[in-house]
Amino acid sequence: QVQLVESGGGLVKPGGSLRLSCAASGFTFSDYYMSWIRQAPGMGLEWVSYISSSGSTIYYADSVKGRFTISRDNAKNSLSLQMNSLRAEDTAVYYCAREWLRFNYWGQGTLVTVSS
Amino acid sequence: QSVLTQPPSVSGAPGQRVTISCTGSSSNIGAGYDVHWYQQLPGIAPKLLIYGNSNRPSGVPDRFSGSKSGTSASLAITGLQAEDEADYYCQSYDSSLSVVFGGGTKLTVL
């Protein structure tokens, strides 16, 4: 069965960096676009970024453009999100999800807290 | 401010029918992009409820249905049950090459 497991969340100071990972299993990872979606505490869902199956096509939400970098390692069935210059408003649960036009599989999420 | 507009809350008694609207624009729903709906129970990841405007994934009861017209879409839930109490989100794609979500609607079963 499809499994997506995020890791790497934690507490970081404003201006700091964090790298999230998502381990995928149960499907042919290299066949699918992958996405990151976040949810601030008590708030709605916000799309962050997606990456094509080969990694050649990448898009970001304006709110993270220039600060976050999405990448993937198809040999390791792994998706990553490098987050730099973190701000308080980046505090959220970060989910990895399969595909990009609709999300039929989600991970359990990892919490990122940006606070001094 | 979300690109797609949903009512913050709706409510209904068990057995009743409720609808949740999702209003977009000519650059997303009105441009022909599909609308998808998610159900999020407290503390867990969202679950795909309706895809491609009106299709149900395997395992989703037929009490849930979706429709789309022009720049809007709707989710209808009939025969409301206590377990339906959750947050519901619509989602589509925008011509700006971004994925867009509604702000979410909290469904309360009275």
A45 to B89: CB separation less than 8 angstroms, yes or no: yes
In chain B, which residue's Cα lies nearest the Cα of A45? B101
Flag whether pLDDT at B34 surpasses 90.
yes
Question: What's the rounded mean pLDDT across residues B38-59?
Answer: 96
What does the alpha-carbon distance between residue B99 and residue B94 come to, in Å, rounded to a whole number? 6
Question: Which band of pLDDT confidence, cut at 50, 70 and 90, is reported for residue B2?
Answer: confident
Q: What is the pLDDT of residue B96?
A: 86
B67 to A32, A100, B90, B110: CA distances (angstroms): 27, 21, 12, 25
Flag whether pLDDT at B97 surpasses 90.
no
Question: Which band of pLDDT confidence, cut at 50, 70 and 90, is reported for residue B10?
Answer: very high
Angle in degrees, CA A17, A20, A25, rounded to 5: 170
B16 at A interface, C-beta within 8 A:
no
Q: Are B110 and B9 in contact (CB under 8 A)?
A: no
Biggest CA–CA distance in chain B, Å, is 41
Percentage of chain B exceeding pLDDT 90: 93
Q: What is the pLDDT of residue A11?
A: 98
A102 to B48: CB separation less than 8 angstroms, yes or no: yes
B91 to A103: CB separation less than 8 angstroms, yes or no: yes
Q: What is the pLDDT of residue A41?
A: 95
Of the candidates A47, A100, A106, the beta carbon closest to that of B101 is on A47
Interface of B with A in 55-74 (CB under 8 A): 57
Q: What is the pLDDT of residue B103?
A: 96
The token pair at A81 is: 């999100």
Q: Which residues of chain A have pLDDT under 70?
A: none
What does the alpha-carbon distance between residue B73 and residue B22 come to, in Å, rounded to a whole number? 5
What does the alpha-carbon distance between residue A37 and residue A92 come to, in Å, rounded to a whole number? 10
What is the per-residue DSSP string for B63-86? TEEEEEETTEEEEEE-S--GGG-E
| Burial label, B101 (beta-carbon count in 10 A; 0-12, 13-18, 19+) | buried
Of the candidates A46, A50, A106, the beta carbon closest to that of B46 is on A106
Secondary structure (3-state) at A66: coil
Of the candidates A44, A50, A107, the beta carbon closest to that of B101 is on A44
